Amino acid sequence: MKATNGFCGAIGNTPLIRLDSLSDTTGCEILGKAEFLNPGGSVKDRAALGMVEDAERRGLLKPGGTIVEGTAGNTGIGLTLVGNAKGYRTIIVIPNDQSPEKLELLRAIGAEVRPVPPAPYKEPHNYNKIAARIADEMENAFWANQFDNTANAQIHYATTGPEIWEQTDGKISAFVAAVGTGGTLAGVSRFLKDQSESVATYCADPYGAAMWSWFKYGHFDFDDGDSVAEGIGQGRVTENVESARVDDAFRVSDRQMMATLNILLKDEGLLLGPSAGVNVCGALKVALAGGPGQTIVTILCDGAQRYSSRLFNQEWLAENDLSPENLSLEELLIHLKDDQNEPSEK
């Protein structure tokens, strides 16, 4: 029998997709890890399973228990489905500016959803702090704490990294990913560096986040601008980011991200969400910086359906100055070559 062991057994072992037009045009192998094909629809299924099984091993989550988490959506979806499969209840605290599809989906799959106004991390009403308090006040409840729970990066070290290494026959020369919690970038970069120090590792960062500033300059001074990309954009060194091994970083604007998403759809047949657009645009920047001959891997985090009320809505796109320009890949590459990513002074 080749059946998987339930929902949890179907997480991971995702295909590595050669992005044909991007590879042929740049002279690099540009490869996307198809995390949108996880059974819960995103890269966060791995983190959800990793954190739940770690909590079970450490006796923090017992039969009939409740998983509580502050999440921008995908971790909540992963935790709820893993919880359903393993017999746990789930409470999800989510900023109320996230896409309505994600809130509806969370409710539909059985999570108790508590939307809260967005608040910075340092505020007591930040969604993570609220989740921590709810778990603290309940019997047999576990706060997953995805940002600072290193079981998150660990599952990527144990699964995503080795899968990429095997799927490229150890020929990977560069890895690039954006940071939400930092679990993916930390776990994969550490695993790849442990196999070969010569694998270059990069962070692709949206504007309004501070990871580009942190990895490039070691400070948080350059966090200007803003981004509509959900699930990424970090302003502090989380416990997961702490263990990342990153050589350099690129910033990706929302217009560059949208142009990349359009090309992925039109040229590759892949209908992907914003963070995948940031990641693939980051891979194009790595291709331009290092030139032809590289084997570059990035993460296709989730699909566009999760954002349809925004990405497929001309009014919303216009309001956010993101109306499609329909750039060809060649035009996008010329634009990216001219974009020097210089820090803008505060």
Name the one range near ligand PMP by CB under 6 A: 100-108, 178-186, 216-224, 258-266.
178-186
Exactly one of 2, 33, 44, 129 is catalytic; name it.
44
Residue 159 corresponds to which amino acid?
Answer: T
Residue 44 bears catalytic tag: yes
Residues 96 and 170 sit within 8 Å (Cβ to Cβ)? no
- Binding to ligand PMP, residues 67-96 (CB under 6 A): 72, 74
Q: Cα–chain-centroid distance for residue 343?
A: 23
> Residue 46 Cβ, how far from ligand PMP at the closest point, in Å?
8
Beta strands at 16-18 and 29-33: parallel, antiparallel or unpaired:
antiparallel
Taking CB under 6 A as the rule, does residue 32 contact ligand PMP?
A: no
Query: What x-and-dash track marks residues 192-231 binding ligand PMP by CB under 6 A?
Result: ---------------------------------------x
* Segment contacting ligand PMP by CB under 6 A, of 42-50, 219-227, 254-262, 332-340: 42-50
Rounded to whole angstroms, the Cα distance separating 279 from 264 reads 12
Encoded one letter per residue, x for contact with ligand PMP by CB under 6 A and - for no contact, window 268-307 reads -----x-x-------------------------xx-----
User: Which region, left, alpha or beta, applies to residue 180 given φ > 0 means left and ψ of -120 to 50 means alpha?
Assistant: alpha
H-only helix segments in 168-247: 183-195, 211-217, 239-242
> What dihedral do alpha carbons 255, 74, 181, 278 form, nearest 10°?
-20
Burial zone of 56 (CB within 10 Å; 0-12 exposed, 13-18 middle, 19+ buried): middle
Q: Which residues pair with 66 in a beta bridge?
A: 89, 141
**Position with the least CB separation from ligand PMP:** 231
Select the span of 7-15, 79-87, 176-184, 287-295 touching ligand PMP (CB under 6 A).
176-184
Size of the site for ligand PMP (CB under 6 A): 19
Residue 181 sits in the site that holds ligand PMP (CB under 6 A): yes
C-alpha closest to that of 146 among 118, 180, 181, 98: 181
Nearer to ligand PMP, 232 or 333 (CB): 232
- Binding footprint of ligand PMP on the chain (CB under 6 A): 42-44, 72, 74, 178-185, 231-232, 273, 275, 301-302
